[in-house]
Structure 1
C-alpha cells in the first residue's frame, strides 16, 4: 500500500515515513502544497496524509482541487489543535478524517488503517499490462503461472511504468517521482533497480520489457 505524506515540517515527515515503512507501507514525502497536488494527481496513492498549513498551496486548497477533479484518494488532514474551523472545512470539502497535532503515532496508524480500508475493499489489487501482472498487495509480479517478489523501490518504479506504458521517463524523472525531488540519490542507484527489474521480467518470459532510449529515458514496451 502506497501513501503520500505532505508535511512541511521535515523532521516530522521523516519520522512518520520511518514508522509507516516499518509497518510495510510504501511512502513518498513532499513538503509543500504544490508538490502534494502534483504527486497526488499523477500517482494512484492509497492514502494522503495532508497537513493543512503548508507553503504554496494550503492543505485545504489541495483537498479542494483533488475533489473537484473527482479524485477519491482517502485523505487524512493534520491540523493544529485550535483550528476547529479548518477541521470542519476539511470535512465539508471531502476529507475522510483529521488528526490534531501533536498526536500519538499509534493513533495515526489506526486512522490510516481505517481510512484506507474502504479503498482497499473496492480497489483491484492487480495491475496488468499485456501478459505482466503486478500485485500491489503482495508486491509480486507474475506471468499468470510464475511469480517473483519485488523490492519496494522496484515495485514503485514498475508501477509507475505500468500505469504509464510506452511513456518515456528520464533517470532524473524516475528519481524525482520515486525518491522525491530533494533526494540525494546517485544515478547508479536507479540503474541498479532498472537492471534488476529487467532480469526479473526476462526470467518470467513475459512480452514486456523496459526499453532504454539513449539520451532520453526509459519506457515499458511490448516485445514480440
Structure 2
C-alpha cells in the first residue's frame, strides 16, 4: 500500500516515512499542498497523512480541493493544536480523522490501519488466489497454513498481484506501485525481487508457474490456480499472525534530504512570528518523540540503562510539547493571530 505524507517540516516527514516503512507501506513525501495535489493526481495512494499548516495551500484547502476532484482515499490530519475548532474544520473540509502532534506512535499506527481498513479492506478483508492468502491489515502472507517471511517490497508485489489478480503488470507499472517516487531503480530490480518472491513461494510448496511471465508484456497470477480448494476451509479459523517486523531503515528512509524539493529546508536565520516559532518547536518535539518511540518499539535487546535514558528523553520531549501546545492554543483562542509557519 502507498501513503502520501504532505508535510513541509522535513524532520517530521522523514520520521513518518521511517515509521510507516517499518509497517511495509511505501511512502512518498510532498513538501507543500500544491506538490501534494500534483502527486495525488499522478499516483494511486491508499491514504494521505496531512499537516494543517502548510505554505501556500494549507491543509483545509488541500482537503477541499482533493475531495472536489473526486478523490476518496482516507485523509488523516496532523495538527499541533488540540482545540475542537481546528479539528472540526479539518473534518468538515473532508478529512477522516486527526492526530495531535506530537503523536504516540502506536496510536498513530492504529488510526492509520483503521482508516485503511475502512477505505479498502472492509470489503475484502483477506485477499486470496488459490491457497495463497494476503491480509493487508497485518501484512501477513500465507500459503495454506504456512507463513511466508517477506521483505516489504516482496510483500508489496504479492499484494499488488492479489488485489488485481487478472491483470498483467509490466515491470514499470510494478515500480510505480510498489516503490516510492523518490527511488529510481531500473526494471531489473523488479525482476530480481520477483525471482526472490518465486523462490520463497516455491519453498513452501507453491508451483513454480504460480506467477506467470507474459513474453514482452509483464507478469500476472496464473489463472490455473485460482480455483484451488484451500486447506484453511477445513481448519478452525485462526487469526493470521503478523510477520515479525524488524526495523528496516532503507535508502528511502534515511534522515537526509534526497530529492531536489526535499533539499529546500527552511531558513531559520530570519526571525519568525511567535506562532511560527511555536510550530517549529512542536515539530522538533514530534520528530524526537517519533524516533525515540520507534527505537523502543522495534529494537530488541536494549540494555536497561539505555531504556531509562530513552524514557527520560521521551518524558522531557512530551513536557516540552505540552508547553508548546499551551502556547499554540493560547494564541488561537486569544487576540494574537496565529501564523501558519510549519
Do the two structures share a fold, i.e. TM-score over 0.5? yes
What TM-score do the two structures reach when normalised by structure 1?
0.71
**Structure-2 residue corresponding to 1:26:** 25
CA-atom RMSD, angstroms?
A: 3.8
Equivalent residue in structure 2 for 1:113, among 92, 101, 110: 110
Give the Å deviation of 1:194: 0.6
Whole-Å separation in 1 of the counterparts to 2:94 and 2:142? 36
| 1:11-90 matches, cutoff 5 A | 12-22=12-22, 24-31=23-30, 32-36=36-40, 39=43, 42=44, 45=46, 47-52=47-52, 53=54, 59-61=62-64, 64-65=67-68, 71=72, 73=74, 75-79=75-79, 87-90=87-90
Deviation at 1:138, TM superposition (A): 4.6
2:6 aligned with 1:7: yes
Larger Rg, first or second structure (1 or 2): 2
Q: Which residue of 2 aligns with 1:131?
A: 131
Displacement after TM superposition at 1:217 (Å): 1.9
Question: TM-score under structure 2 normalisation?
Answer: 0.50
Equivalent position of 1:202 in the other structure: 202
Contact in 2 for aligned 1:171/1:217 (Cα 8 Å): yes
**Count, aligned residues:** 212
Moved more, 124-133 or 5-14: 5-14
- Contact 2:6–2:48 at 8 Å: present in 1 too? no
Corresponding residue SS for 1:223:
helix
SS in 1 for 2:184: coil
Q: Which runs of 5+ in 2 are unaligned?
A: 31-35, 226-342
**Residues 139, 108 of structure 1: alpha-carbon distance in 2 compared, 3 angstrom cutoff:** closer
Alignment correspondent of 1:221: 222
Shift of 1:49: 1.1
Secondary structure of the corresponding residue to residue 149 of structure 1: coil
Per-residue deviation, residues 56-95 of structure 1 (Å, max 9, x unmatched): 99531365258x66x473x3113576xx977533211442
Once residues 86 and 37 of structure 2 are traced to their aligned partners in structure 1, the CA distance between those partners, rounded to angstroms, is 16
Q: Which has the higher strand share?
A: 1
